[in-house]
Chain A
Amino acid sequence: MIEYLMSKYNYWIYVVLMMIGFYAMMGKRNLVKKLIGMNIFQTAIILYYISIGVKKGGTLPVVMEGATRAADYVNPLPHVLMLTAIVVSVSTTGVALAVLLMIYRRYKTLEEDEILKSMR
């Protein structure tokens, strides 16, 4: 059992990170904590994609002496996809921070309960 868990440890870390992020997004009442949870959630997915591209003993995806088969190279495509996902994640964080700034200027707090109270 332990061996089974250890052999795919990166996928377990991805699941655990994702659940931490998900909990922070759903359970926390502070808006910044929600935003950080969202970041952890997105990072977990990036870790997952990086994991699926890696091969044991694989080398850089650049033509090299001695590595002639496709199995000798790691798969670069998931990594390239993640470049895009990182850009998306950064811009989402940027927009979210700007929105938080608007919320703070209007209500002078970032606690969801207090904001909802003052909106009523």
Chain B
Amino acid sequence: MNTPQVQATILIILVPLMFSYAIPLLGWRWRGSAFFVALAAIGASMVCSFILLYTVLTQGTIHYHLGGWLPPWGIEYVIDPLNGFVGVVVCVISFLVTLSSKESVQKELPDKKVRFYTIYLLLFTGLMGIVVTGDVFNLYVFLEIASLTAYALIAIGEDGAPLASFNYIIMGTIGACFYLLGVGYLYIVTGSLNMADLAKLLPPLYHSNVVLIALAFFLIGTAIKMGLFPLHVWLPDAYTYAPSAVSAFIAPVMAKVMAYILIRVMFTVFQPSYLIEMVPVASILSWVAAAAILVGSIMALAQKDLKRMLAYSSVSQIGYIVLGVGLGNKMGLLGAYLHILNHAFMKGCLFAVAMALMYRTGKRNIFQLGRIHRRMPFTMAALVIGALSMIGIPPTAGFFSKWYLILGSIDARNWVFVAVILISSLLNALYFFRVIENAYFEGVHGHSQKEAMDGIAKVREEVPLSMLIPIILLAAGILLLGLFNERIISGILVFALPPGF
């Protein structure tokens, strides 16, 4: 099978990789070109990802053997409906966020533009590599590419960013090293690094403690990387202090890719029967996730800084995805998949709005927003749509993933999780309506009211079109995904379920 569609598997990472080296070369002469090169590369990857998803759905799983070496020995890239879907999500969100980043980067990092987009594109390469690869060690290499570039991008932010980045380096390295140890333990017992091969070799060895320890290392490693509740300490600082364009890119995309690793390891390398029946890993994960949902929401309620609030809300939303995975039934897993898509759009939209606010006003304190809707009506409308979706108001996308997660909890006969999801939705409503209230009405706090009145502009001052259009597209995406969620579930996601569901 060597059709042009199959070549898209390698082009999806080769194009951004090569273009990331072209950026400093071109940027040396034409500084303005960096943004366009990065956008073109991500656009090309996006086209490839659509081709791949279409091919997978019509012709079945794609295998690409690097250098012609056959799977157990060589590195293999595999595209099945699950990573075809995640690839499209990552590409589309990255494209829209990159499109909106132009003016913000120009304002926040004027003399670092060329270097910024070089590293930015490498981060995108790393994330796409994680998505397409079918080899556990190759995944580690891409994981480190993505992490190293993310450390660098966070460190160039405002005051406090270098320390946040250093803490992320320490935590992220522990996570990646645990993942590497997991690979090593599996290699001892099987002698293989290929995911499909491991899945075949492992079932007879399920009684072994080595396999159990490998699984524990994998889970803790990926949990640190995605910021699951007790291991999330690096996440709020990193998202808050990073440049606005970086948090808008990392927050929606990176945690989703890490959640994808978790799903891939749990349901491709290991089998659902092992995780659910032989060791109670799945139920431990879902209880941890339930704690993450509540703690993230409560912490978000206590924040004044918009970006920090969104970061804690991310902690809680990652809990939703892991809860769906941990439930280990069809509805729960569909909810988790759908939430990967929906949350990427919601967080992309909300962080892009935060970026627009930083660009126009330089303020992130939610009590200083004071009637900002007069200045930026469209941006604030996008914020409202994103917020309603996070709360889970029906026509928006957020409602449907929560709906499936609740159905999954009911299927698992676990009423505590149903209660957790409902309580968390109420908490979401509390902290997002606080933002909406401050953005649309006069401040109720005496001190901020005066500031707010001064800040009211008589004229409309929308952000530039290059920032506004992606924000509106993301907000429209939230509504469309909500309306067409049935199509996505029955057309793509049911094929992405692991066998036996």
CB distance A42 to B173 under 8 Å?
yes
CB contacts (< 8 Å) of B155 on chain A: these are 98-99, 102
Q: Give the interface segment out of B104-112, B181-189, B394-402.
A: B181-189
Asked whether B181 lies within 8 Å of A48 as measured between CB atoms, the reply is yes
Q: Which of B151, B163, B170 contacts A103 (CB 8 A)?
A: B163
| Residues on B with beta carbons closer than 8 Å to the beta carbon of A41 | 173-174, 177
Q: Which of B137, B159, B166, B174 contacts A100 (CB 8 A)?
A: B166
Taking the complex as formed, is B430 at the interface, i.e. its CB lies under 8 A from any CB of chain A? no
Q: Which range contains the number of A residues in contact with the other chain?
A: 20 to 34
A95 to B165 alpha-carbon distance, docked (Å): 10
CA distance A99 to B164 in the complex (A): 10
Contact A45 B163 (CB under 8 A): no
Taking CB as reference atom, which chain B residue is nearest A88? B144
Chain B residues whose CB sits within 8 angstroms of the CB of A112 once the complex forms: 163
* Distance, CA A81 to CA B170, complexed state (A): 22
> Assuming A45-B177, A48-B184, A81-B137, is B170 touching A95 (CB within 8 A)?
no
User: Quick check: A99 and B166 within 8 Å, CB to CB?
Assistant: yes
Q: Produce 1/0 per residue, A76-120, CB < 8 A to B.
A: 001001001100100110011011101100100000100100010
Kindly identify, within residues 137 to 181 of chain B, every residue whose CB is under 8 Å from any CB belonging to chain A: 137, 141, 144, 148, 151-152, 155, 159-160, 162-163, 165-166, 169-170, 173-174, 176-177, 180-181
Chain A positions within 8 Å of B176 at CB level: 88
Contacts of B188 on A, CB cut-off 8 Å?
52
Contact bitstring A50-83, B, C-beta under 8 A = 1, else 0: 0010000000000000000000000000100100
> Is A25 positioned at the interface, with any CB of B under 8 Å from its CB?
yes
| Closest beta carbon of chain A to B168's beta carbon, Å | 9
Residues of B within 8 A of A102 (CB): 155, 162
| Contact, CB under 8 Å: B173 / A38 | yes
Residues of chain B with a CB closer than 8 A to A84's CB: 137, 141
Give min CB distance, A34 to chain B, whole Å: 6
Q: Which residue of B lies closest to A78 (CB)?
A: B187
Do residues B151 and A95 form an inter-chain contact, with CB atoms below 8 A?
yes
Indicate the member of A31, A91, A95, A103 with the most B CB atoms within 10 Å: A95
Partner of B170, one of A34, A45, A78, A106: A34
Of A22, A45, A96, A103, which one neighbours B184 at CB under 8 angstroms? A45
- State whether A45 touches B181 (Cβ < 8 A): yes
B166 contacts which of A52, A103, A119 (Cβ < 8 Å)? A103
In the assembly, what is the distance between CA of A42 and CA of B174, in Å? 9
CB distance from B246 to the nearest CB of A (A): 14
The listed residue (B137, B148, B184) touching A91 by CB distance below 8 A is B148
A119 close to B162 (CB less than 8 A): no
Q: Give the docked Cα–Cα distance between A48 and B183 (Å).
A: 12
The answer to whether A95 and B184 have CB atoms under 8 Å apart is no
Q: Which of B137, B151, B174 contacts A99 (CB 8 A)?
A: B151
Q: By the criterion CB–CB under 8 Å, are B148 and A92 in contact?
A: yes
Provide the residues of chain B in CB contact with A95, threshold 8 Å: 148, 151-152, 169
* Set of chain A residues within 8 Å of B141, measured between Cβ atoms: 84, 88
Kindly state the separation between the CA atoms of A99 and B141 in the bound complex, as whole angstroms.
Answer: 21
In the complex, are the beta carbons of A119 and B160 less than 8 A apart?
yes
Most A C-beta atoms less than 10 A away, residue of B148, B177, B188: B177
Contacting pair B187 A115 (CB below 8 A): no
Write out the residue numbers on chain B whose beta carbons fall within 8 Å of the beta carbon of A88: 141, 144, 148, 176
Residues of B within 8 A of A99 (CB): 151, 155, 162, 165-166, 169
Bound form: Cα–Cα A52–B181 in Å:
12
Docked Cα-Cα span, A68 to B144, in Å, equals 38
- Residue pair B162, A92 in contact (C-beta under 8 Å): no
> Of the candidates A49, A78, A92, A106, which one forms a contact with B173 in the assembled complex, judged by CB atoms under 8 Å apart?
A92
A96 touches B166 (CB 8 A): yes
User: In whole angstroms, what is the CA distance A81 to B155 when docked?
Assistant: 29
A25–B167 Cα distance when bound, in Å, is: 10
Q: Which residues of the other chain, B, contact A119 by a CB distance below 8 angstroms? A: 159-160, 163
Chain A contacts for B163, CB-based, 8 A? 103, 112, 115, 119
Closest 6 CB pairs of A and B: A102-B162, A103-B162, A88-B144, A99-B155, A96-B169, A99-B166
List 30 A-B pairs, Cβ < 8 Å.
Answer: A22-B174, A25-B174, A34-B166, A34-B170, A38-B170, A38-B173, A41-B174, A45-B177, A45-B181, A48-B184, A49-B184, A78-B184, A84-B137, A85-B180, A88-B141, A88-B176, A95-B152, A95-B169, A96-B151, A96-B169, A98-B152, A99-B155, A99-B166, A100-B166, A103-B163, A106-B159, A112-B163, A115-B163, A119-B159, A119-B163
Q: Contact residues of B with A, CB < 8 Å? A: 137, 141, 144, 148, 151-152, 155, 159-160, 162-163, 165-166, 169-170, 173-174, 176-177, 180-181, 184, 187-188
17 new A-B contacts, CB < 8 A, other than A22-B174, A38-B170, A96-B151, are: A34-B166, A38-B173, A45-B180, A48-B181, A49-B184, A52-B184, A52-B188, A84-B141, A92-B144, A98-B155, A99-B162, A99-B166, A99-B169, A102-B155, A102-B162, A103-B162, A106-B159
